[in-house]
Amino acid sequence: MINPLIGACIELCIELQQPCYIHADAGQFDTALINMTVNARGAMHGEGLLVIAVERVAQIPACPRCSASPSSPATAW
């Protein structure tokens, strides 16, 4: 799904350190990946290395408008 979006001059590397399970809407997750990919492609000026890395965290990072909460398979963000 991502390779046709990035073009021939951008190399894609996916790093999965361990299985990470999430509770998310599949359509929204796909849309988020596509948006991040297109934004990265624009920032890279059409060439370079795009790395998508996934890792397990103990807590969801805090943001200015919300407080941190423990991550769990039932948490949907």
pLDDT tens for 33-53 read: 899 988 999 999 889 999 988
What pLDDT does 75 receive? 46
Strands of the chain, DSSP E: 10-16, 48-54
> Count of CB atoms within 10 A of residue 74's CB?
6
- Count of domains forming the chain: 1
Range of the domain at 42: 1-77
| pTM beyond 0.85, yes or no | no
CB 28 within 8 A of CB 42: no
